Amino acid sequence: MRGFILQSMAVLLSAASMTAKPKGDLIQRVPASSQQLENPLEANDGNRRAGNKLFLRECSACHGREALGKGRVPPLATPMVRKANPGTLFWILRNGSLCHGMPSFAHLPDDERWQIITFLKSL
């Protein structure tokens, strides 16, 4: 029975990866109300440094210590991320994306997610 379940999961994951949407689609799914959010912590360099520490702890395992991506995981040190409005990035961090393999970071308090965004926008 266990083998059947594992095989079924493998088939489902394989099908999901074949139907995964392009990376830009994640940004396009962010609701307009979330896109309008502003980062209340962006003007503080201390928040950028705190965001760097949080990035290293929470994000670098997948995106790399320099945010340059690893394997199929996209880089975050890009103009697309720098130009994205803060509310969009906040929504992505809070919700993640199952089809892109990104977990939700809703376990982090809002201020910590904003600090990560402050750091990402500085790259």
In 1-123, DSSP assigns E strands to none
Q: Is the pLDDT of residue 119 over 90?
A: yes
pLDDT tens sequence across 32-68: 888 889 999 987 899 999 999 999 999 999 999 999 9
pLDDT band at 97 (very low <50, low <70, confident <90, very high): confident
**Region of residue 99 (phi > 0: left; psi between -120 and 50: alpha; otherwise: beta):** alpha
Fold (topology level) of 21-122: Cytochrome Bc1 Complex; Chain D, domain 2 (1.10.760)
* Domain coordinates in residue numbering, the chain: 21-122
Secondary structure class of 102 (helix, strand, coil): strand
